[in-house]
Amino acid sequence: MKYDSTAISQESPVSEKLPKESPLPPAPVTLKDRIKGSPTLTTLARWLLMPANEYRPRWWVRTFWNRLKHKRGDGSVIRPTNRMDVFPYNRFEIGEKTIIEDFCTVNNAVGDVIIGNRTLIGMSNVIIGPVTLGNHILFAQNVVLSALNHNFEDVTKPIADQGFSTKPIRVDDGVWIGANAVVVPGIHIGRNAVVAAGSVVTKDVPPYTVVVGNPARPMKQYNFDTQQWEKI
């Protein structure tokens, strides 16, 4: 006797025996979603967090709320002369024994700022998120990492009225960035790379590579076979 799959499927369809899946419940609406969806609540939230015509948090946010919200590793140091423009609605984290030296500006208003362990942020640096820094990183003086760009496509409007865009910056473990260097939005600097002083980094930097100039170009790379830094 031959097996008639058609007859069986017609008499007792498998689909009728399977339990019907219930629809997934809608995702819960968070307070952050409610604020973003209401112009009135957005305006109120901004007024509570920052003074009018300023782009820094109010005193009570810096002194109380941020201490409860943001994570600081054991032994980390943030010098009191720094301008810490960090807000509670985005992440700011600093790892163990990391130091942010005097006269720096750190801003997470438009994206998270995450700094790993044993990293040194030199004097007068500027870091505007979203930026993620690894461990054992060295930044010299006056280094700028800005993941923010102002839009300027519409020439009929002031650039200040056209909004902004962001592209995350990522710096891996062991990187050294020299004085007065600039890293533009969207850049990834690989492990143990070196950015020479005064360089403007407009392209990703491979691991174990030295880049120099404006725009920064690869000049040396570490050869693991010869165990030497070699010119490219």
Active site residues: 150
CA 201 to the chain's CA centroid: 17
Could you tell me which of 52, 122, 59 has the C-alpha nearest to residue 85? 59
Q: If we measure between CA atoms, which residue out of 61, 121, 129 comes closest to residue 90?
A: 129
3: alpha, beta or left? (left if phi > 0; alpha if psi -120 to 50)? beta
Q: Which residues contact 53 (CB under 8 A, 6 or more apart)?
A: none
Structure token pair of residue 123: 């004097």
CA 213 to chain centroid = 24
Q: Yes or no: say if 25 and 31 are a contact pair by the CB < 8 Å rule.
A: no
- Token pair listed for 225: 């076979």
Sheet containing 228-231: give its strands across. 77-78, 99-100, 120-121, 138-139, 176-177, 194-195, 209-212, 217-223, 228-231
Contact 137, 116 (CB under 8 A): yes
